[in-house]
Amino acid sequence: MFKVADFTIQAVILAALQDAFPKDRFIAEETSAQLLAAGDATVEAVVAAASLAALPVATTSAANGAGDAASSATGGLRTAAEVCQALDLGASGVLDGWSEHSRTWVLDPIDGTKGFGTLMHACMNS
């Protein structure tokens, strides 16, 4: 249960950040390989949850002027491929060195779920 939340929230946040800041890079914990290794039921649960998220999507409209971008809410990540692509954005911060050419986000949106799930509520984050 907690792993589904970990995968889902990371994928949704990374997809939204990538849309808003396409030149930025990211470092995050979960990967598509881990999701796929978790089995079909987990993948299906993550896709179902991620598809409910309203993600902003840049659109171009003549009403906004020539080429101005506007945001409109749309459905979330709808396929396993989209979720996996979003999760793997979390490795972009270390692809060719430590993000020497752009801003890097370090993301662990719901840290501590493993300890919480095992009733080990004491934890320290820095």
117, burial (CB in 10 Å: exposed 0-12, middle 13-18, buried 19+): exposed
The predicted model scores a pTM of: 0.72
The residues spanned by each domain of the chain are 2-57+68-117
Q: Please tell us whether the domain made up of 2-57+68-117 is placed in CATH 3.40.50.1820.
A: no
**Per-residue confidence in pLDDT tens, the chain, 126 aa:** 568 999 999 999 999 999 999 988 899 989 999 999 999 999 999 999 999 987 665 543 333 343 334 444 455 799 999 999 999 999 988 777 666 667 889 888 666 555 555 555 444 444
